[in-house]
A = this chain, B = another copy of it.
Amino acid sequence: MTEHPNRTTIRPSGSLQILSYKEATQLCDQTQEGLNDLFRQCALAVLNTGLVDDNGLALIEAHPDFQIRVQVKGRGLQIEIENAPNNAFLEDDMIVGLQEHLSAVIRDLIYAKNEIVDNGEFDLEDTFGITNAVFHLARNAELMQPNREPNVVICWGGHSISRVEYKYTKQVGYHLGLRQLDICTGCGPGAMKGPMKGAVVGHGKQRYQDGRFIGLTEPGIIAAEAPNAIVNQLAILPDIEKRLEAFLRLGHGIIIFPGGAGTMEEILYLLSVIMHPQNNNIPFPVVLTGPECSRAYFDAVLEFIEFTLGRKASDKLTVLIDEPIETALFLKKGLGHVKAYREATSDAYYFNWNLHIPFELQKPFEPTHDNIAQLRIHRDQPEHQLASQLRQVFSAIVAGNVKREGMAQIEAHGPFQIQGDPEIMRRMDKLLRAFVEQRRMKLGTENYVPCYHIVTDMSA
């Protein structure tokens, strides 16, 4: 990996780049109090775009000399960068999309700290307080635009998918784009990039200039899944739970492509919400789709869900195999229902206030060995609660696979021990083995070493 030799100075455009002296100081402050450490990590991830490597720990270690500083002067903010990854540049200039991403990092880190965490107004131990925080974070990132009809399609799926699957996500994106739908993903390569690339072309043919490519990420995952430069609205939420909540409140429908542990986490989170009795009548179109070759994958996922959460759960998930146009039409139609419902209930188009997300799903889950040991994976609870517990299992696996903190935990204490209902454990083990075989767990690893151990033998 080469680094750009020269020190570079970036002058972001746009109105967000007006920092106060205090904010500029915070970004350069390398103490615990300051934001420089986090800023440096996120900035490095942003600039690392395009390099396919999902090891968040390795990235930081590979760039010990990377430095970033901000200054306020003359016409506005200046960002000074040393030893940045070379691929962020085109000849001597940083790619404009990445300059915007850097600005977004600055905006979100400062706002999250000063206006959310340090502002007494938000009670982050309370469900409404958290939702209100997500709303403010999204508003500050300009993710909510009034006077737009519901048209945000969330695309979930793996960063490590096959060539055929990747091409399929582009096709789906193309047909969404032709219908002037916008795309929102979790950033990164694979299923999160393909739909955007396709939609760019679809938007172009329709001369749809205001197309939005929204990327929602968080500091823990950004290094492993750097935003593609197509993303034209990037937001860094403070943690994985707020990011998941943002997906559900900002998006109007969801497409799930094949993926690995992260995608399972997302599916289980989604089920945990839409199966909640309070959300019974709220329309939320969901499609699972992929090319013919992904049929086995979806069968495995559906089988696991049906076994653990029942028919009621699998009924919420429409599966369309090798149907890119049908998928786009399903979403288009579903978004019409969403609009009608919001109108009828006087709810905003740009934020799904009505959706109930239980506090349990909002509260940050720290994937430590202790916390994992305390999960309750049993059938003696409502399905939406079991879904919530299961999602934490997969959240932990993602952390152990690619996140800096999680990888450190595994290095220190060995694989996470996952236990619970024996039959569920066996099924989970089977599902995860399938993911490993299909190489969905991590990029480019021929011999994946699991960061978890499924305790299938309870007598042990």
Contacts and interface: CB of A to CB of B under 8 A. Distances in A.
Contacts of A31: none
Nearest to A12: B146
A230 B204 CA distance: 6
A318 to B, nearest CB: 20
B142 A15 contact: yes
Contacts of A144: 15, 18
Contacts of A115: 115, 119
Contact of A119 (B13, B22, B121, B230): B121
Contacts of A178: 90, 95
A368 interface: no
Contacts of A279: none
Contact of A73 (B74, B207, B347): B347
Contacts of A145: 15
A147 B76 contact: yes
Interface string A174-206: 000011000000000000000001001100111
Contacts of A197: 201
A147 B75 contact: yes
Contact of A18 (B114, B119, B146, B209): B146
Interface stretch (A131-139, A267-275, A357-365): A131-139
A321 interface: no
Given A20-B132, A119-B121, A90 B179 contact: yes
9 contacts: A18-B348, A18-B350, A20-B139, A73-B346, A74-B343, A74-B347, A76-B348, A96-B207, A115-B115
